[in-house]
A and B are shown apart, each in its own frame.
Chain A
Amino acid sequence: MNTSTSLDAPPRDRVTGTQFTRGLGILVLAGMVLLIVLGLFVSPADVNQGESVRIMYAHVPGAWLAYLAFVITGISSAAYLWKRTRSLTWDRIAGASAEVGVLFMGISLITGSLWGRITWGTYWTWDARLTTTAFLFVTYIGYLAVRGLGGTHQQRARRSAVLALLAVLEIPLVHFSVELWNTLHQEASVAGRGTDVEMDGLMLFTLFLGVIVFTLMYVWLVLHRQRSLALEDMLDDSGLDNALTARRAEASGVAR
């Protein structure tokens, strides 16, 4: 049941690249160069934040990407569990997306705390968004650990899909409870103090470009990773074919 052949079928030469991903990769590379030039050299420093505003061009797209990745993981997991769309492709997309998401969540947590240190004078604040992000990070590390437990492809797919949907249930609850905690007990959050950014046109454009380039990079990474996961599964299956042949030969040898 291939829901989309362009995603599913590893190409005949058993590599993960296609004409589309090569084109996409070149586009991402060019966009990244443009983003670096604009973000680091061309765009102006901020009136309040100074040079540190440049961290935003990596941090904001990174955080956006991390959340996008987990939404995709959740949707793919639901698609796997729903009988009419059940396909291991969905499971691999969920896994690939979670891996990329964890990577970018790590990047955005690091860039965020560096920026916070420069701007607020602190690496961390118990702001609901920040805390939820940290929980999401740990939750998906657990998700990836469960994916690695072994068993058949179907066992892995079902187990991890259920876990991903439980995470979808968990994250809003964590966010809500931290927010309630903040509003009742910490009147003024450190966030919002002297951090107003007065974005001029070029800064906005750079940020916008960052989001687009990062999103394209996400698509590129997930396509490749998804296909390499498919190849790994195929390797397992071909291992089974070989082992079957060997075992049958063994049987005819012994039961003469």
Chain B
Amino acid sequence: MSNSLKGSSTVIATARLIAAKDLRVELRSRVLLNQVLPFALIVMVMFAFALDSDAVLERVAPGLVWLATLFSVLVMVSRSFAVETADGALDQLRSAGVPATGIFIGKMLALMVQLMVLVALLVGAAVVLYRASFSWAGGVLLVTTAIAATCGLAAVGTLYGGLAAGAKGRETLLPLLLLPVVAPVLIGATRATESAFGTNGIAISEGWPWLGLLAVFAVLFSVAGAVAFGPLLDD
């Protein structure tokens, strides 16, 4: 039985178990639906107040979508680990010898799914509120960009969220650690989304190098997270 806890099949089984659990918790508690999505939308409205010009808003719409996503990631990562620490479940998982890599992948996948929903909503909000022009031709680029970017964000968010989870002052520590790391995602996803939207007449083809950057980021930090999550959690 002890052998069943080792090996990649256990990691995959754990990842599925954790991801399904996290999504089920969201389904029951509806924190994403009732709190995070409204928060992200109000951020989008606030941007409009701050920038105060339709022309400017249309031009910077892709950046605002991803900025609002970054703010929401901070909230969602905090929530994701609050679920684990509220009744000591993360301790319990560690005390049960559940592989940390599996926990990382599971929480990352659940976060990624929720981020995809968020980004879809924010793109819709940009079209409605900022008059961003959405064309079906840019659709493929937009969807692949969203997948790569949310994958990278979920990986980094889960990794640093796990580090901050046990710490005192985690609410302030998490943004300090997380935001500098995700700068490449903000740059890459914004530029790729500009191409997909055709903002300022930027061609769709110009977006692909940025998608490459996002993919590299996602792969690097997924691997780094899978390796480093255990050492970060284990005290």
Name A's B-contacting residues (CB within 8 A): 81, 135, 138-139, 141-142, 145-146, 149-152, 155, 158-159, 162-163, 165-166, 169-170, 173-174, 176-178, 180-181, 184-185
Contacts and interface: CB of A to CB of B under 8 A. Distances in A.
Contacts of A174: 180, 183-184
B66 interface: no
Chain B interface size, as a band, is 20 to 34
Interface in B103-138: none
Nearest to A149: B167
B184 A142 contact: no
B235 interface: yes
A180 B213 contact: yes
A145 to B, nearest CB: 6
Contacts of B216: 173
A8 B206 CA distance: 54
A177 B180 contact: no
Interface in B196-235: 206, 209-210, 213, 216-217, 220-221, 224, 228, 231-232, 234-235
Contacts of A163: 163, 177, 232
A9 B216 CA distance: 43
Given A158-B231, A180-B213, A173 B177 contact: no
Contacts of B213: 176-177, 180
B168 interface: yes
A177 B184 contact: yes
B235 A155 contact: yes
Which A-B residue pairs are the 3 nearest by beta carbons? A177-B184, A155-B235, A142-B177
B187 A178 contact: yes
Contacts of B210: 180
Nearest to B178: A142
A87 B168 CA distance: 26
A177 B173 contact: no
Contacts of B177: 142, 145-146, 163
Given A163-B232, A166-B224, A176-B213, 15 more contacts: A138-B180, A139-B180, A142-B173, A145-B173, A149-B168, A159-B163, A159-B232, A165-B228, A166-B159, A166-B181, A169-B220, A170-B181, A173-B184, A178-B187, A184-B206
A163 B228 CA distance: 9
Nearest to B221: A169
9 contacts: A142-B173, A146-B167, A150-B168, A163-B163, A169-B220, A169-B221, A170-B181, A180-B213, A184-B191
B175 to A, nearest CB: 9
Interface in B151-184: 159, 163, 167-168, 173, 176-177, 180-181, 183-184
B104 to A, nearest CB: 13
A146 to B, nearest CB: 7
B85 to A, nearest CB: 15
B187 A146 contact: no
Contacts of A138: 176, 180
Given A138-B176, A145-B176, A176-B213, A181 B191 contact: yes
B188 interface: yes
A81 B232 CA distance: 12
A181 B206 CA distance: 12
Contacts of B234: 158
A181 B187 contact: yes
Most buried by B among A159, A169, A173, A180: A173
A146 B173 contact: yes
A174 B185 CA distance: 9
A113 B173 CA distance: 28
B220 A141 contact: no
Nearest to B176: A142
Contacts of A162: 228, 231-232
A155 B213 CA distance: 34
B180 A142 contact: yes
A169 B225 CA distance: 12
Given A166-B228, A170-B181, A177 B235 contact: no
A146 B174 CA distance: 10
B183 A177 contact: yes
A146 B231 CA distance: 14
